[in-house]
Each structure stands twice: as C-alpha cells, then as structure tokens.
Amino acid sequence: MSKICQITGKKVLVGNNVSHSKRRTKRRFYPNLMKKKFYFEEEDRWVTITVTASGIRNINKKGLKSALEEAKKKGFIANY
C-alpha cells in the first residue's frame, strides 16, 4: 500500500534531521493516513478509502460524493 491520501493526494515528504551540531541527515515526513469506511448513500453501500485527517475534514465539508468525484478527476483515485 502506498502512503498517498486518496482524497487530497498528500504523500511522503523528504527533509532533514538537524542535530545540535547542525549535522543533517535525511528523514521522511509521513502523512497522517487512516483506512476508513464511509457510507455512500447514493449507491447504498460502504466505501473503504485510505485518507488523511485533512481528507476526512474535506469529506465532512463537501460531502462524500463530491469529494470522491473531485479526487477521481484529479487522478488521486481510480474508482470507488
């Protein structure tokens, strides 16, 4: 499973660990991903998607159908 949100498209970022002596080593910043089930009222079924916390807020704000259609249009999710 890749670490990409299916609603917002957020993924792993790369940065540096900076020690007290300012020595830099590479590190990764992971998105806050959760596997979550949402009830899709239009089709009377449950949909399981991998989504970040901001993606959940996005679904609560816009609604599940419009959020899924927008994600499909942007290419974050193939089908639902």
Residue 1 in this model has a pLDDT that exceeds 70: no
Average pLDDT of span 58-72: 96
pTM beyond 0.75: the answer is yes
Give the separation between CA 80 and CA 74, rounded to whole angstroms: 14
- For the chain, which residues make up each domain, given as ranges? 13-74
The answer to whether the beta carbons of residues 51 and 59 sit under 8 Å apart is yes
Class of domain 13-74 as given by CATH: mainly beta
Residue 74 in this model has a pLDDT that exceeds 80: yes
pLDDT digits 0-9 by tens, 8-62: 999 999 999 999 999 999 999 999 999 999 999 999 999 999 999 999 999 999 9
Question: Which residue did the predictor score with more confidence, 1 or 44?
Answer: 44
